[in-house]
Structure 1
Amino acid sequence: MKFVFFHLMPYPYLPDDFDTRYPSPSLTFPNRYFDRETGNRLYHRYLDELEHAERLGFDGIAVNEHHQTAYGLMPSPNIMAAALARRTSRAQIMVLGNAIGIRGNPLRVAEEIAMLDHLSNGRIVSGFVRGIGWEYFAHSINPTRSRDRFNEAHDLIIKAWTSDEMFQWISPNYEYRYVNLWPRPLQQPHPPIYIPGAGSTETMRFVAQRRYTYMSVYAPTRVVRRWFDGYRDSAAELGYEPDPEKIGLSIPIFVADTDAQAHREGRDQLMWLFHKGLKQGPELMNPPGYMSPSSMRGVLAAGMTPFPQLSYEDLLSGGYAVVGGPASVTARLRELRDELGFGQLIGLFAIGGLSHERTVRSMELFSTEVMSALRSDQPATTG
């Protein structure tokens, strides 16, 4: 199994009246609540944690992109990847990912990832995401164009990476008279590509057709199983079975010395993530036209409870997160692996306002006791 340390880089210091006064930490939440000195300290702390993850033996260290939100302070994940490229030497540096659907110039993404591939000596992983609904509002882009923009940007980037001759690109959303990428990526034909899915059948087929890695977003186990099965079904229709490592479970994880300590220290931070950080109404997550009718029917049929309505016990029993001492976390992850069939674990360890010291302790316990135990197991099966 492959283990990835994923960071959202949250800004957890919200006002006391946030719950009653503000509908979301995104888009319209006033930036006067961002304290410059605190933000400065957080960026350096978070980079320290990512670098420490490599020393602990994680296979990958991952960053991602979000805009105009306290949920995650990385409007440019490629800058964070560049900061990590020269301070690490072994782990894959995973951008999970660039929101190419909202980029006005996707060719710039192709250039930056190619540069990062060289700076990291071929360790870069390129994730592509469509961007969340509110981010289309933030960039004044009609969300009904999301899928087409994503597909066209993806195709342009892949061709730019793999073509050894100048070409012209004319499509409904992008126009380039000259495409002649300098530098080309170090990895050939291009860096590995990861794409998250949240129930869209189009995404499942898209990833299966190209044999990319499919990763989940935060959801209950029963829903993630539907997503992974949909991806496997799409692959089966194409005549192959994806390697378990091509399936990545994204999940918050907190480990302490004992179960009691883990629940005592982790409860409030997990509730921050799901009740405050993920306090996004449907109008922000899935505005009209963002998803196709068939995909929207699938999302509605899944019957997911809005995050702010879930209790701490709901989050743990439903498989949204894993919290406990090393033995309990190991056992729970084995259960999830055997049920879901993933071969890659993308763990979020810096949860909510969890202190740096507790985050590092959780990482270290996971590395020395949980990760080593899971690595010794047999490959995952779908049960």
Structure 2
Amino acid sequence: MSGRFLKLDPRNFETEESPYGEEMEMFRNSVRAFFDREVEPRYRDFEVSGTDRAIWKKAAEYGILGATIPEAYGGPGANRFSIMVAAEELGYAPSGATAGSFIGTDICTNFLVDFGTEAQRRKYFPLILSGDCIQAMGMTEAESGSDAFAARTTAVRDGDEWVINGSKIYISNGSKADLVYVLCKTAPELKAKGLSMIIVEKGTPGFTQRRMITQGYKGGDTGELFLDDVRVPLSNLVGPENGAASMFVPNMALDRLQIVARSIGAAQRAFELTLEHCQNRRLFGQRLIDFQNTRFVLAQMETEIRVGRAFYNSLLRKVANDTITDAESSMAKIWLTELEFRTLDNCVQLWGGQAWMDDHPISRMFTAARVQRIFAGATELMKDVLGRRYLK
């Protein structure tokens, strides 16, 4: 990972300014404008049939997709904190509670940036940048949820092709993805060291994508994938054969932190909406904010969000210096996703019956917050990662 975050100015961590830097704050403005203008007005449409091609094209017009693609390939060449900035805005936007992972799957682009062949980059980078290629990570299986490296999907060489058999489930953007990075066992006897990443494109014979209806993220296009004797060229291998596990290491912290960034964004927006509500809502002749209990609850939320952001910012510094540990990203995933849920729960209580209605932003954000403690490694797995250290 060394050298991948060179555009980040470490001095920003020593001030009250954004730790992301001015360039990334300009990027944030673009992402926020995209959600405000393009996604929020259409969230009901997405609940019915998921995010459509038109909204992906709009995301491309705003310069949101493929931010880490190098300038040599026509991309912005942004540092990888663009992933966290986009995730934070995805959480901050109430419509993000409907859109699901949506643009968050852009983290998949890093696999091509880091490990893709020249031919793969030349083929897919232009499509990613234009919004014509929706990506998905085909990792989770029904029998290997948090233990992704226990995947049963296999890929066997047959001449100049891979023959893939298996299934994947709970895949973000899986029902519409044009490009899926499928985690396969290519050397089962090597267990986790025998996994490879192979590209499977939409429409490949034997490849079926099915939309799943979820509790939250109604427009998130969560999908189930079936691969029955799917044949793809050997050249669809991304990175070294049997090297997928090591490929995930540099992106694992980023994946957890983008979930955490989303939690921070959602908690902040929910607090802001609820504070405004309490300042304006009248009950028994008084504003809701005039009740001491209301102020106590709001003060506790604001304090927790501020402390949580300080912890998050400290980890950004470590990511920039390539010193973040698996334990630290696990702690962030545990604490900040739980913080989001507590915050949203308190906000529902302060809004009362309004927030029980499905069309209310706090209601949608509350429901969406529940899955954050499962995504990218469930809370229990994160605690186990930490706990194993105590046995040494």
Which entry has the higher C-alpha Rg, 1 or 2? Answer: 2
Normalising by structure 1, we get a TM-score of 0.26
Higher helix share: 2
| Structure with the larger RCO, 1 or 2 (CA within 8 Å, 6+ apart) | 1
